[in-house]
Amino acid sequence: MESKNWKSFLEELADPQFVDVSSLETHKTLPPEIWEKGQLKPEILDALYEIAKEFFETLKLDPSVKMTDVTLTGSLATYNWSDYSDVDLHILIDFNQLTNRELTEDYFKQKIQNWNRVHKILIKGFEVEIYIQDSNERHYANGIYSIMNNSWIKEPSRYRNEIDYDTVQKKAAHLMEQIDDVYDYYAEKDYKLALKSAEELMERLKKYRRSGLSTEGINSIENLVFKVLRRNDYIKKLSSLKILSYDKTMSINGSY
């Protein structure tokens, strides 16, 4: 069923002054609901490990493939957390142990998408998002905490370069306008164009963010713009438009 709020998106303004960047502010402490004296609270640690273990078991991989670690990363492992933050739970696996890596990676993506779509597990009000990460792959993050070892892999820094809020707002507003254009195509029932535009824009956003992370890290303009889009629900909006457009494109309407 389509959301009743879709029509209201047409009236949204993407002028930079209306783009909320307040959630990018840095706090003086880690989120106190989750952390205590620089370590995960015991009940949080146990809960996150249990979630990761149960998800890993649903993959039904060869017994020789093990979890090399489970990590908490993302903004909840930094001083840049907000009410919009998710519990980014990463399950690390050595992808070199996979028999058919390409096929298995596609399988992982489907399992993750299904799990994240079906479940809404909250840890102190923050929603859990599962990821599978190749243990050999470099992960860009300000803070990474090993749940299996109950210790920091990379302890977050309170220091952050001065944010160019003006640039972040302008670039985010420009991308919001493009996402609203996709909705316009959908509202006008041009589902093929909406789907094509959504897929292309989603891929461009991934490359855009990846480029910023690889050159200037988590504080890059590109990564901050992506965060603003996500925290203003525009990434979710684009993803939903992609799914809705695909379903409409593949449907056949008529009377019987």
**pLDDT in the model for residue 6:** 43
**Which of 237, 238, 219, 215 shows the shortest CA–CA distance to 227?**
219
Between CA 23 and CA 41 the distance in angstroms is: 24
**pLDDT in the model for residue 22:** 62
Between CA 228 and CA 245 the distance in angstroms is: 24
CATH topology of domain 28-154: Beta Polymerase; domain 2 (3.30.460)
**pLDDT in the model for residue 148:** 96
Helices (H), the chain: 42-58, 101-118, 165-187, 191-216, 221-231, 234-250
Termini Cα distance of the chain: 22
- pLDDT averaged per 10 residues, the chain (length 256): 42 54 74 94 97 94 92 88 84 90 85 84 91 86 91 83 75 88 93 94 88 74 86 89 93 64
**Which of 118, 147, 119, 123 shows the shortest CA–CA distance to 133?**
147
The amino acid occupying position 85 is S
**pLDDT in the model for residue 99:** 82
The amino acid occupying position 12 is E
**pLDDT in the model for residue 209:** 85
CATH 3.30.460 domain extents, the chain:
28-154
The CB-side HSE value for 216 (13 A sphere, CA atoms) comes to 12
**Which of 179, 239, 223, 238 shows the shortest CA–CA distance to 24?**
223
Pair 10, 181: CB distance under 8 Å: no
b/e per residue, 174-206, with b = 16+ CB within 10 A?
ebbebbbebbebbeeeebebbbbbbeebbeebe
**What is the torsional sign of CA 216, 227, 81, 25?**
positive
**pLDDT in the model for residue 81:** 83
Between CA 93 and CA 241 the distance in angstroms is: 32
The residues, ordered by sequence, that sit 6+ positions from 57 with a Cβ below 8 Å of its Cβ are: none
Q: Cα separations (Å) of 208 from 72, 201, 239?
A: 24, 10, 16
